[in-house]
Amino acid sequence: MAETKNIRRLVLPVHGMESTSNSKLRVKHSSNYKSLPSRVFMGKCNSAAASLLTVVMVTAYSLASVPEKRQTSCAPIHLFVARVRTGEYPGDGSIGSLAQLVINESSGTTQEAINYPGGSFPIYIDDVWTGITADTNEFTEYASCSNTTLMLIGYSQGAQIILDALCSSGNAANGSTGSPTITTSQGKNIAAVVGHGDPGHVAGESWDEGTATTNGLSIYARPAGACNACASVIHSYCNTGDPFCASGNNIMIHMEYPHTYNTQASQWINQQLALMRRKP
């Protein structure tokens, strides 16, 4: 199997986050988004702050024009990462700490970021669709690696993007039908999907983890049971009080998932990888 080409990760420092690079991390720049056919996946499936946000958003949209870098080889394990809305663009943001745990524990794992602008309401919904399209395009490209085990992880808006692509969208965004965009054949090699603080969270689902007993924000929540067909490969973490995934009022809870659940999530991912290795 060919060695995966090393590509330096481009990071925009935000809120004290540091620029990093890692030879095992791969980042693609997707600018030419196009809608793909939707098919149900039945496999396993204050003012200073405002100014800073404006700078980040303008820079993000400028970076969207960077040419795409196509995957040139198939790794044993490949991880798609969708960052929190206010994280670096392009890059993996704070959910990158979970990605790094997986990379450290699973030899041969490569990673790429799902690149989307990340914006507040009302453009939030359009940016979710941009992310869904980017996720689907990047996933489709790598799904041709028939012997590669695939994983997706996301945080906040990033979690909504990966789960909407896999299951369905609770809000038909710009160009979206509300249906899943990752197909049965594309999803057959998915071992694990992890979401932190997903605004589309629906309480009481079999794939839910954490303490939340209430739904996420109503304008984002996907239909109950939308992920039933791929429930065995999903863990979605949401705690009581989270204003986004549980309609609470404590923003700090939304920021604590990596610290609270990364170890647990990485252990579950390892279990899922072991199950995939035992498949005939």
DSSP conformation letters of 51-70: HHHHHHHHHHHHHTTSPP--
With beta carbons less than 8 A apart as the criterion, state whether 44 and 232 touch: yes
Helix H or strand E encompassing 82 = strand 77-82
Q: Give catalytic status of residue 156 as yes or no.
A: yes
Q: What's this model's pTM, rounded to 2 decimal places?
A: 0.69
Domains along the chain with CATH numbers: 77-277 (3.40.50.1820)
- For the CA atoms of the chain, what is the radius of gyration? 17
What backbone torsions phi and psi does residue 234 show, to the nearest 5 degrees? -115, 135
Residue type, 90: P
Residue by residue, DSSP assigns 155-198 as ETHHHHHHHHHHT--SS--TT--SS--S-HHHHTTEEEEEEES-
pLDDT at 144: 82
pLDDT at 78: 92
CA 149 to CA 109: how far, in whole Å?
Answer: 9
pLDDT at 210: 98
pLDDT in tens, the chain (280 residues): 433 333 333 332 333 333 333 333 333 333 333 333 333 333 444 333 333 333 333 333 333 333 344 455 899 999 989 887 665 666 667 888 999 999 999 888 998 888 777 655 556 666 776 767 777 777 888 878 889 999 999 999 889 888 988 887 655 444 445 566 676 677 788 999 999 999 999 999 999 999 999 999 877 778 888 888 889 999 999 999 999 999 999 999 999 999 999 999 999 999 999 998 877 6
What backbone torsions phi and psi does residue 110 show, to the nearest 5 degrees? -115, 165
What backbone torsions phi and psi does residue 73 show, to the nearest 5 degrees? -155, 165
pLDDT at 130: 72
Cα dihedral sign, 130-95-170-191: positive
Please tell me which residue in 30, 38, 94, 156 is annotated as part of the active site: 156
Write the CA distances from 101 to 23, 41, 145, 261, 265, integer angstroms: 15, 28, 23, 12, 10
pLDDT at 107: 87
pLDDT at 243: 96
Helix (H, G, I), strand (E, B) or coil at 149: strand
280 contacts: CB under 8 Å, gap ≥ 6: none
* Long-range pairs of 53-56 with CB within 8 A, sequence gap ≥ 24: 53/86, 53/120, 56/12, 56/14, 56/86, 56/89
Cα dihedral sign, 93-97-100-106: negative
